[in-house]
């Protein structure tokens, strides 16, 4: 899915039409109510999970537009990877019943039919379903291979009223920023549990999240420049300075989406956080804890955490046919995709020396904005690390900045904490790879200093 819909746009993008600024106090109140209902990380998770229904009109309105579908279709990495996964495993699709969850433009349904599927159920909740029907209505003269091969089901997969058969294959593109933004993975898993035959194929079959520390003094300075407006003591006669702390908290809670320079990474990414879509449960998707550990390569300042993901398509064996594994990456050194990467800025950079070990975690909990509230902690070397399951830390980070306990705000030289709202994304499009400048790059240009030996 697209990095959708943007709520704060840092750069002009003609495709980004729906702009909504969310009242943070309301969101924080919702999050606190959710936390009060939860007595543990996963206990009664289905009952405690905030509903996405209030967000659905905006969400499905966004995906009903051809302009946004085009943004995804012309992502050649995304589209060609799905096509390769289907066509290289055509034996999986041959004479199969297929369900396409969140079909959008219908392109995955069309690929499936082309690969020999007996019939495809294209499940699409938005009015893009009408566009699929419009295309299918012309199969006498256009795309004749689709004639009588695709049935459009205009519904969320959770709300389907008609009786549908169990299927051999479920295919979907339920992916958002950092893999899980938009909460479509829950629908993907629901479809798997209700409609997939035993031993059936689910595409994609797995995904992995990668985290790495980055340094970017320019991005940090640009963010602080926006914050410092709220230090104004005489703006047309008004003193806005009482709002400075809240403004800083708000700006730094906005994840920065955009391609970034892989040379800004201070360490190799931590071991991937793997999601096996064949086995993961909906309950597990509601509350994710992603641990990380890095050995820092350079002396310098960590300004935040960079994240991206990989997708893998591995079919189960069918008889003697093992099938082909197809994968794609959204890493900063891979080909660009519309998902880009994401960065979580720290309000205060963390100073490290080459060879230091940085440990930490991100705890990601669903919210009503079809996204996640994220709390995190980084510590250096032997500094004790908090337990991410300890509600005292994660709930305190979710509080309004003026309500947080003093111990949370106390400065510890070798520890940093942060919280971010994955739905309140801002955008940075300034980085463009350049072979000439990349070849001439030295770490000290980015204030990264390798060990003397």
The domains located in the chain, with CATH, are 52-203 (3.40.50.150), 209-446 (2.70.160.11)
306: phi then psi, degrees, rounded to nearest 5:
-100, 145
Place of tokens 């549990």: 193
Q: In this predicted model, what pLDDT tens digit does every residue of 334-381 receive, in sequence order?
A: 999 999 999 999 999 999 999 999 999 999 999 999 999 999 999 999
Q: From CA 133, how far away is CA 172, in angstroms rounded?
A: 19
Report the percent of the chain where pLDDT is more than 90.
76
The pLDDT, as a whole number, for residue 406 is 73
Percent of the chain beyond pLDDT 70?
88
Buried b (16+ CB within 10 A) or exposed e, 33-48: ebbeebeebeeebeeb
Beta bridge partners of 99: 121, 170
Q: HSE-up of 283 (CA within 13 Å, CB side)?
A: 10
- More confident site: 79 or 34: 79
Residue 312: name the closest of 276, 351, 273, 360 by CA. Answer: 276
In the predicted structure, residue 328 carries a pLDDT above the cut 50: yes
Set 124, 173, 186, 377: catalytic member: 173
Q: Which residues 6+ apart lie within 8 Å of 402 measured at CB?
A: 245, 246
pLDDT value, residue 409: 62
Check residue 117 and give its pLDDT.
Answer: 99
Pairing, β 97-101 against β 119-123: parallel
162 is catalytic: no
Lowest mean pLDDT of 230-244, 401-415, 438-452, name the range: 401-415
- pLDDT of 114 > 80? The answer is yes
pTM: 0.88
Instruction: Supply the pLDDT for residue 436.
Output: 80
pLDDT tens, residue by residue, 73-112 = 999 999 999 999 999 999 999 999 999 999 999 999 999 9
Residue 264: how many other CB atoms lie within 10 Å: 22
Tokens 């495709």, located at residue: 15
The answer to whether residue 222 is catalytic is: no
β-bridge mates for residue 119, sequence order: 97
Give the lowest-confidence range in 36-50, 90-104, 393-407, 429-443. Answer: 36-50
What's the mean pLDDT in 142-155? 98
What are 162-182's pLDDT values in tens digits? 999 999 999 999 999 999 999
- Using the Cα atoms of residue 223, residue 225, residue 230 and residue 235 in order, give the sign of their dihedral: negative
For 232-356, strand residue ranges (E) read: 256-257, 273-276, 287-295, 300-313, 326-329, 342-352
- State the pLDDT at residue 395: 79
- What's the pLDDT score for residue 412? 64
Q: How far is CA 217 from CA 223, 261, 272, 380, 448, in A?
A: 10, 13, 26, 20, 11
> Is the confidence at residue 13, as pLDDT, over 90?
no
pLDDT of 38 > 80? The answer is no
Quick: pLDDT tens for 372-422.
Answer: 999 999 999 988 899 998 867 777 777 877 787 777 765 567 999 999 999
Confidence grade of residue 32 (pLDDT, cut at 50, 70, 90)? very low
Whether 450 contacts 382, CB under 8 Å:
no
Q: Report pLDDT for 437.
A: 80
Q: How far apart are CA 249 and CA 220, in angstroms?
A: 13
Query: Could you give the CA distance from residue 441 to residue 431 in angstroms, rounded to a whole number?
Result: 14
* 3-state secondary structure string across 368-421: CCCEEEEEEEEEECCCCCCCCCCHHHHHHHHCCHHHCCHHHHCCECCEEEEEEE
Of the residues 182, 186, 250, 377, only one is catalytic, namely 182
- Token pair for 87: 């066509």
Q: For residue range 277-294, what is the model confidence (pLDDT) as tens digits?
A: 999 999 999 999 999 999
Written in H, E and C, the secondary structure of 296-325 is CCCEEEEEEEEEEEEEEECCCCECCECCCC
pLDDT band of 43, cuts 50, 70, 90: very low
Model confidence pLDDT, tens digit, residues 252-272:
999 999 999 999 999 999 999
- Rounded-to-integer distance, Cα 239 and Cα 233, Å: 4
CA angle, residues 59, 65, 66, in degrees to nearest 5: 140
């Amino acid at each position: 899915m697209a990095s959708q819909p943007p709520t704060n746009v840092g750069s002009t993008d003609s495709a980004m039409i729906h702009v909504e600024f969310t009242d943070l106090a309301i969101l924080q109140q919702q999050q606190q109510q959710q936390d009060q209902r939860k007595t543990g990380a996963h206990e009664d998770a289905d009952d405690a999970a905030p509903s996405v229904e209030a967000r659905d009109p905006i969400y499905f309105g966004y995906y009903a537009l051809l302009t946004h579908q085009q943004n995804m279709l012309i992502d050649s990495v995304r589209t060609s990877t799905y096509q390769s996964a289907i066509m290289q495993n055509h034996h999986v699709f041959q004479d199969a019943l297929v369900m396409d969850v969140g079909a959008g433009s219908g392109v995955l349904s069309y690929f499936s039919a082309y690969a020999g599927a007996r019939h495809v159920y294209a499940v699409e909740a938005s009015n893009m379903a009408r566009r699929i029907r419009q295309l299918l209505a012309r199969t006498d003269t256009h795309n004749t291979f689709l004639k009588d091969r695709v049935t459009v089901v205009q519904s969320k997969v959770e709300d389907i009223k008609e009786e549908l058969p169990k299927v051999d294959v479920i295919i979907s593109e339920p992916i958002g920023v950092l893999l899980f933004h938009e909460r479509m993975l829950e629908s993907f898993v629901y479809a798997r549990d209700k409609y997939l035959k035993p031993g059936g194929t689910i595409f994609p079959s797995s995904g992995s999240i990668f985290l790495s520390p980055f340094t970017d003094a320019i991005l940090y300075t640009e963010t602080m420049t926006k914050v410092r407006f709220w230090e104004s003591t005489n703006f047309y006669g008004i003193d806005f300075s009482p709002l400075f702390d809240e403004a800083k908290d708000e700006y730094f809670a906005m994840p920065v989406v955009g391609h970034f320079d892989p040379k800004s990474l201070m360490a190799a990414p931590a071991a991937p956080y793997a999601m096996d879509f064949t086995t993961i449960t909906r309950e597990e998707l509601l509350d994710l804890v992603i641990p990380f550990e890095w050995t820092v390569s350079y002396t310098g300042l960590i300004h935040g955490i960079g994240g991206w993901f990989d997708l893998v398509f591995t079919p189960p064996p069918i008889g003697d046919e093992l099938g082909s594994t197809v994968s794609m990456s959204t890493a900063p050194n891979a080909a660009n995709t519309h998902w880009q990467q994401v960065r979580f800025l720290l309000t205060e950079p963390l100073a490290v020396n080459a060879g230091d070990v940085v440990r930490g975690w991100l705890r990601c909990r669903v919210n009503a904005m079809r996204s996640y509230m994220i709390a995190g902690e980084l510590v250096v070397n032997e500094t004790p690390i908090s337990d991410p399951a300890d509600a005292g830390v994660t709930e305190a980070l979710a509080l309004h900045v003026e309500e947080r306990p003093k111990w949370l705000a106390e400065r510890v030289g070798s520890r940093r904490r942060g919280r971010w709202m994955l739905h309140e994304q801002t955008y940075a499009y300034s980085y463009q790879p350049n072979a000439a400048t990349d070849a001439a790059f030295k770490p000290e240009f980015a204030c990264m200093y390798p060990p003397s030996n």
